[in-house]
Structure 1
Amino acid sequence: MRPNTMNKFGAVLDDFGMESMLDKLMKDFIRPLSRVFFAEFGGCSLDTHHGFIVEYGIHRDRELGFHVDDSEVTLNICLGKEFSGGELFFRGARCDAHVNSDSQLEEIFDYSHVPGQAILHSGRHRHGAKATTSGKRMNLILWCRSSTFREMIKYQREFAGWCGECRRKKRERERLSIAATKQELLKRRMAL
């Protein structure tokens, strides 16, 4: 079975009997960190996971296109030994309505994989992987999910506080409202 819809090379770890180990990793380590760093993304209520290995290299997947994960929080551990390229690029967290919107300068972040090290990020943080140009890079990915967060987000009517584009639009509406109020007050003052 393919590990996800974007990768051709890899394996789903639950298929190899690793479900309980990955569940313990999520509950004992990732959930406590996510309570602090990703509470707005459901980090307090992570209850399921999807764990898999992906392979990148010359005769494997070379790169990974721009996307968001099917997770609330993602753990990405670099297992490769010798490789070049394969940097992750992040371009801001987005809700479903704004997933394809432009990135702001302050949202741009690039991350170079280091064997044996990991990055923990929101699944809603748009990202991709640049081409692996030599060697073989392998990563263990753990998508951690919250059924509570997924149910709550269905009923969200106002802006998503964690979506960079929603926040930008809210700030713009506030700026226009303040400018209109100032203009109206100025007109009233001039009329007196």
Structure 2
Amino acid sequence: MSEPSPGIYEFDMLQPRFCEMLISEVENFEKWIRETDFEIVRPNSMNNYGAVLDDFGMEGTLDTLMKDFVRHISKVYFADVGGFDLDSHHGFVVEYGVDRDVDLGFHTDDSEVTLNVCLGKQFTGGDLFFRGMRCEDHVNGQIYPEEVFDFSHTVGRAIVHRGRHRHGASATTSGHRINLILWCRSSVYRELKEHKNDFLEFCGECKRENERKACALHGSKPQGKKGVLASEGGAAAS
């Protein structure tokens, strides 16, 4: 594993053959949908293409993936957002291309920890862009230079990050890109967060507010960097 940017970890995860098999399952499901004129719920409020994997027999597999794989990573790197006690998930695939969704606006995920792995196929573009971690109160706040990070997809390679890490996807300029997404959640953390009134450790803007208050108390000036407003579509939880 490597950490190319604070709070973002990447690693090789899936073999090419498994990616092909999973894509085949998704394509068979979509073919059945078209033939039967069956109406399904799409993965989230921002994607018009793709499918919820839990809806066609993969709920148990993805639950095992979360508990036996993601949770061991998140309890080390994301303990501050409940990574030690992930207990539910939302698993789906998303599809991008010139005849599908082209890009994805600036947003945060409805998860404590998100796993994102590219399944294929051949494509250009579609990079993920990350712009800093924020709590609900600061989701549309400034972007600071040190928070800017772009990630290029490679088939079988995964990226894992906090759900509150603001991100989006640039345009897929050719081909067809399919990604497996696993939103992992902690009911314990969500309950605790309802009663947490102090600064959230993961949020960059909370840290800056805390620093400003501490400096005001001691009569000094914070040594922060100037930022720009979140301009890539406006972050909104999806």
TM over 0.5: yes
Whichever residue aligns with residue 110 of structure 1, its letter is D
**1:58 to 2:98 alignment:** yes
Q: Give the greater-gyration-radius structure (CA).
A: 1
Q: Distance in 1 between matches of 2:212 and 2:126?
A: 36
Whether 2:211 is the aligned partner of 1:165: answer no
Distance 2:192 2:177 in 1: 37
Question: How far off is 1:81 after superposition?
Answer: 2.3
Q: 1:187 matched to which residue of 2?
A: none
Q: How does 1:28-47 map to 2 (within 5 A)?
A: 28-47=68-87
Query: RMSD of the TM alignment (CA)?
Result: 0.8
Q: How does 1:137-156 map to 2 (within 5 A)?
A: 137-156=177-196
Q: 1: distance between equivalents of 2:138 and 2:88?
A: 26
Superposed, which structure 2 residues align to 1:170-189 within 5 Å?
170-179=210-219
Letter of the 2:58 partner, please give it.
M
Cα displacement string for residues 155-184 of structure 1 (whole angstroms, at most 9, x for unaligned residues): 11111111100001111111122117xxxx
| Long gaps (5+) in structure 2 | 1-40, 221-238
TM-score w.r.t. length of structure 1: 0.92
The alignment-based identity, stated in percent, is 61
Between the aligned partners of 1:154 and 1:76, the Cα distance in structure 2 is 27
Cα distance, 1:67 vs structure 2: 0.4
Partner of 1:69: 109
Could you tell me which residue of structure 2 aligns to residue 185 of structure 1? Answer: none
Return structure 1 stretches of 4+ with deviation > 4 angstroms: none
Question: Could you tell me how far apart the structure 1 residues matched to 2:51 and 2:115 are?
Answer: 16
Equivalents in 2 of 1:56, 1:63: separation in Å?
7
Which residue of the partner structure matches residue 54 of structure 2?
A: 14
Q: Which whole-Å deviations, capped at 9, do the CAs of 1:104-124 have from their partners, x for residues lacking one?
A: 111111111111111011001
Deviation at 1:137, TM superposition (A): 0.3
Kindly state the Cα deviation for residue 68 of structure 1 after the two structures are TM-superposed.
Answer: 0.4
| Residue 128 (1) aligns with residue 168 (2) | yes
Q: What CA deviation, in whole Å up to 9, does each residue of 1:17-70 have, x standing for no partner?
A: 100000000000000100001111110010000000100000000000000000
**Corresponding position of 2:89:** 49
2:210 partner letter: K
Aligned counterparts of 1:80 and 1:130: Cα–Cα separation in 2: 16
Aligned length: 180
Specify the code of the residue in structure 2 equivalent to 1:2.
R
2:155 alignment counterpart: 115
SS in 2 for 1:79: strand
